[in-house]
Chains A and B, each alone.
Chain A
Amino acid sequence: MKTVRIPPALRSETEGKREVHAAGGTVRELLDDLTSRFPGLRHQLVEDDDIAPFVNVYVEGEDVRTLDGLETEVHDGSTVILLPAMAGG
């Protein structure tokens, strides 16, 4: 299992959970698993079968867009960070 960190703005979709576990060997599989259990997340993370342009996904601290995008491999024990922009000041 991999740990996915849920940002505060999306926690209303994950019953308030800050971290959830998800199964899968790639970012795509992880997001599929995650959004099947928390369907409200889908439109906040995925657009046109890709990661939504206003969200960043980091695996081990690296933006998956600079790796293999949705096909980026995620190893057991890895932490995945979902990061939408926030503007509060």
Chain B
Amino acid sequence: MPGYRELLQQVKAEIDEVDVPRARDLLDGAEPPLLVDVRELDEWTEGRIPGAVHIPRGNLESRIERAAPDRTQPILVYCAVGNRSAFAAKTLGELGYENVSSLAGGYTDWKRNGLPTELPRSLDAAKRQRYSRHLLIPEVGEEGQLKLLDARILLVGAGGLGSPASLYLAAAGVGKLGIVDDDRVDATNLQRQIAHSTETLGEWKADSAKRTIEALNPDVDVVTYRERLTSENVDRILADGWDVIVDGADNFPTRYLVNDASVWHGIPVVHGSIFRFEGQVTVFKPHEGPCYRCLFPQPPPPELAPSCAEGGVLGVLPGIVGSLQASEALKLALGIGESLSGRLLLFDALATEFSEVTLRRDPDCPVCGEHPTITEYIDYVEFCSGRPTHA
């Protein structure tokens, strides 16, 4: 049986090794290899080669396929001095990767050559504990949690949908949450709007939700807008910089306004709506998927579209639909999974049934179509009044 040194020599003879200057040329080239750091977490957190992904040697076999689904993709692995990465390169070859090399001399030689390194941001001990259940999920992990802490999500409405959505987004550690709502908490809200409480009756919903969120997670910066979203203020509010909008509005004019503004600003919208026992959820990704006007070119006449205030809503329903919205928003912020873009999810609480219909972009859509006819904000209240003018 060979000892460690003999085994290392054998492995190095079987794999491709590149020295630091060659590695730099490859990384600066037109088709840079995927750079994989196979060291342990404590080594990684003390500095890394820019652009590297971290897959510790012990997790290499289980995680490499997600980082490199294509077996022909060139991969460059490195460790501290080039020994662990040699074994890693051999393993990747055995897994079918065709173009793998190991950095001879490793990170130590890279630094010795005066090449750039970066200190990865990392979570402090308190955040590591708070978000530990996220850190355990491979699709989230520390990098994902850092993305969430950098994410900025705007909630339109802090009512039935906005309450659970904002609480779960806050709990997840989304770093900045905006809340647009011009309403005050009243007793009829408390049957479902869990961001508010008996203690905050009469307060602005934006302020009440902010208090609840800050008690839940002080990592979150909450920006409140105690105003109704209108054609006049929407550009100012969106200029504050949002990655995702969660639409939990309670009226059609705001829905159409959110849509048009999001298309023009290029911000994805996680849409949810509820009535009695049923909810609808989807994601509108500007210019990639359909928008709200592709789905519903015209609002129904008011008499055919009662609101929850008129028709009622099961208290828990917004909990389910708003949580689905939070889930979609987190996926968008993390850049993982399949979003609901192009699909409308329908939930019926009475039958306990989810169903799905396909949404397609409308090439004649007046806002996101090939020849848009609506290119600036309109009078949304009039548009939805049943007496629309020709916009």
Contacts and interface: CB of A to CB of B under 8 A. Distances in A.
Closest 10 CB pairs of A and B: A54-B300, A88-B308, A85-B296, A89-B250, A89-B248, A53-B298, A8-B276, A58-B357, A86-B275, A89-B161
A61 interface: yes
A87 B255 contact: yes
Q: How large is the interface on B (under 10, 10 to 19, 20 to 34, 35 or more residues)?
A: 35 or more
B329 to A, nearest CB: 15
B358 A85 contact: no
A88 B307 contact: yes
Interface in A41-64: 44, 53-56, 58, 61-63
Interface string A17-53: 0100000000000000000000000001000000001
Interface in B145-170: 157, 159-162
The SS class assigned to the A binding surface is mixed
Contacts of A87: 249-252, 255, 273, 299, 305, 307
A72 to B, nearest CB: 14
A81 interface: yes
B277 interface: yes
Interface of B: 157, 159-162, 247-252, 255, 272-278, 280, 295-301, 304-308, 311, 313, 318, 344, 346, 348, 350-351, 355-360
Contacts of A54: 296, 298-301, 304-305
Contact of B304 (A8, A9, A66, A81): A9
B360 A89 contact: no
B357 A83 contact: yes
A81 B358 CA distance: 12
Contact of A89 (B160, B301, B358): B160
A7 B278 contact: yes
A56 B276 CA distance: 19
Given A54-B300, A88-B308, 17 more contacts: A8-B278, A9-B304, A9-B305, A9-B311, A18-B350, A54-B298, A54-B301, A54-B305, A61-B355, A61-B356, A63-B357, A66-B360, A83-B346, A84-B304, A88-B313, A89-B273, A89-B308
B357 A88 contact: no
22 contacts: A7-B278, A8-B276, A8-B278, A18-B350, A18-B351, A53-B298, A54-B299, A56-B295, A56-B296, A56-B357, A58-B357, A58-B358, A63-B357, A84-B305, A86-B275, A87-B251, A87-B305, A88-B250, A88-B273, A88-B307, A89-B247, A89-B248
B305 A85 contact: yes
Given A8-B278, A56-B296, A62-B358, A89 B305 contact: no
B201 to A, nearest CB: 20
A54 B298 CA distance: 5
